């Protein structure tokens, strides 16, 4: 482990790998507690195995949430091991929420593979998500440390936020693109902070909490995670339009084609650029876009500055995440590792 107070971001892949190695046995052990059918779907989702448990090519995910939990615990002065149970719970909730989200979004591909509902069916995928949800709560509740009760309360608050954020995201789909009922950037921010930031904030907050940090430190860590979540979601939206599907593992333009209210489009429409007017006309029909129209819409979003505005928004939240930790008493070496991960939330291709 590094002893430098400021760790270069080139170290981020190694830091992530170290954290994944620490969490993997406990995560695998938790998954083994599931009904075998659900364990298979969880393993499929985590990239550990294919249908019937056979090996499968494809990405296993970087494990940023679990790393945030472990590094936050270390920054708060405890061994990373103290936060493994929190990292496992957060990872299980992450997998659960994506299983359900892919059904709600009708998405058929994730991480270069068919989504769980496409392979196993909608009912089984919903139930597997429910099983992962229950397992996450049970994992924390069974945690032998002194902070189990507070950790479960922390997770419960996160779940409430997460579900509210997802509700707003779905409701946005029913709102018009322009006019008084249009989704405003601050509404998007609230949605993203809840839908995505809540779980990242849960990871950092749980890390601090399981380390026995004072409430002010836990709050600061959780606040940093929530800002990282908004940055992450803005970039997720951006990659959905301009990302390389080979690397994102998701089909290109699927949000645009389904007329999802993503930040780049909202930011473009908020300008008075002529491209924004063309874009509004294109989207205004309310019908899903075909591939050619989606490509044209992507060009107009870029022309109106939506891509640049999205990156600027992501960087603002990255700065806010760093500022959240200013003045908080944290162990310098672990703080260095935590901060080294932050740019990963914005400068990413997948
Ligand atoms: C992905 O967003 C979705 C989420 C981050 C949250 C999904 C939340 C739920 C399904 C509700 C969970 C319920 C409880 C009780 C907590 P996205 O669709 O923008 O990302 P994607 O491009 O990766 O699909
Ligand atoms: Mg989705």
Six-digit token string for 109: 């591909």
Question: Which-ligand-closest: CA of 241?
Answer: 1
Q: What is the DSSP string of 38-102?
A: HHHHHHHHTTS--GGG----S-----HHHHHHHHHHHHTTS-GGGGHHHHHHHHHHHHHHHHHHH
Task: Please tell me the distance between residue 212's alpha carbon and the centre of ligand 2 in angstroms.
Answer: 35
- Most confident range, picked from 48-52, 145-149, 227-231: 227-231
- Given a cut of 90, is residue 104 above it in pLDDT? yes
**What residues have CB less than 8 Å from 250, skipping those under 6 apart?**
107, 109, 110, 239, 240, 243
pLDDT higher than threshold 60 for residue 316: yes
> Which residue did the predictor score with more confidence, 127 or 251?
127
* Range with the poorest average pLDDT among 59-68, 159-168, 192-201: 59-68
CA of 107 to the centre of ligand 2 (A): 7
Give the ligand 1 atom nearest the CA of 262. Answer: 19
Chain mean pLDDT for the chain: 93
pLDDT of residue 1: 39
- Please determine, for residue 229, whether its predicted confidence score (pLDDT) is greater than 50: yes
pLDDT for res 6: 54
**Confidence class for position 176, pLDDT limits 50, 70, 90:** very high
Token output for 284: 């205004």
Residue 226: which domain range? 5-347
Rounded to whole angstroms, how far apart are CA atoms 302 and 297? 9
Show the ligand 1 pocket: residues with CB < 6 angstroms.
97, 100-101, 105, 107, 159, 162-163, 166, 195-196, 236
Q: What pLDDT score was predicted for residue 290?
A: 92
- Specify the ligand 1 atom closest to the Cα of 102: 24
How many domains are there within the chain? Answer: 1
pLDDT of 169 strictly over 80: yes
- Residue 119 sits in a domain whose CATH number is 1.10.600.10
Q: Which atom of ligand 1 is nearest to the CA of 196?
A: 5
For a substitution probing ligand 1, which of 96, 97, 156, 237 has the most ligand atoms within 8 Å of its CB? 97
Q: Which residue has a Cα nearest atom 3 of ligand 1?
A: 101
pTM of the model: 0.95
């Amino acid at each position: 482990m590094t002893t430098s107070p400021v760790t270069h971001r080139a170290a981020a892949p190694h830091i992530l790998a170290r954290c994944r190695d620490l969490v993997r046995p406990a995560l695998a052990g938790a998954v083994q507690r599931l009904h075998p059918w659900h364990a298979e779907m969880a393993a499929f989702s985590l990239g550990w195995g294919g249908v019937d448990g056979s090996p499968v090519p494809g990405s296993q995910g970087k494990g940023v949430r679990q790393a945030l939990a472990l590094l936050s615990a270390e920054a708060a002065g405890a061994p990373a091991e103290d936060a493994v149970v929190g990292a496992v719970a957060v990872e299980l909730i992450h997998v659960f929420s994506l299983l359900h989200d892919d059904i709600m979004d009708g998405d058929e591909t994730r991480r270069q593979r068919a989504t769980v509902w496409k392979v196993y069916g909608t009912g089984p995928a919903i139930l597997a998500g429910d099983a992962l949800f229950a397992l996450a709560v049970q994992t924390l509740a069974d945690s032998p440390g002194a902070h189990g009760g507070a950790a479960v309360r922390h997770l419960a608050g996160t779940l409430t936020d997460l579900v509210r954020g997802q509700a707003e995201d779905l409701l946005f789909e029913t709102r018009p693109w322009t006019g008084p009922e249009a989704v405003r950037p601050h509404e998007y921010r609230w949605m993203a902070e809840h839908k995505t930031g809540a779980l990242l904030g849960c990871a950092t907050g749980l890390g601090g909490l399981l380390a026995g940090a004072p409430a002010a430190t836990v709050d600061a860590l959780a606040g940093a995670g929530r800002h990282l979540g908004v940055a992450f979601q803005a970039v997720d939206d951006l990659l959905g339009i301009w990302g390389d599907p080979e690397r994102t593992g998701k089909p290109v333009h699927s949000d645009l084609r389904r007329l999802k209210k993503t930040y780049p489009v909202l930011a473009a429409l908020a300008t008075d650029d002529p491209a924004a007017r063309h874009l509004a006309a294109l989207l205004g029909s309310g019908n899903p876009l075909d591939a050619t129209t989606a490509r044209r819409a992507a060009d107009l979003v870029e022309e109106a500055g939506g891509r640049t505005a999205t990156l600027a928004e992501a960087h603002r939240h990255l700065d806010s995440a760093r500022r959240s930790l200013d003045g908080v008493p944290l162990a310098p070496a672990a703080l260095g590792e935590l901060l080294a991960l932050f740019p990963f939330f914005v400068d990413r291709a997948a």
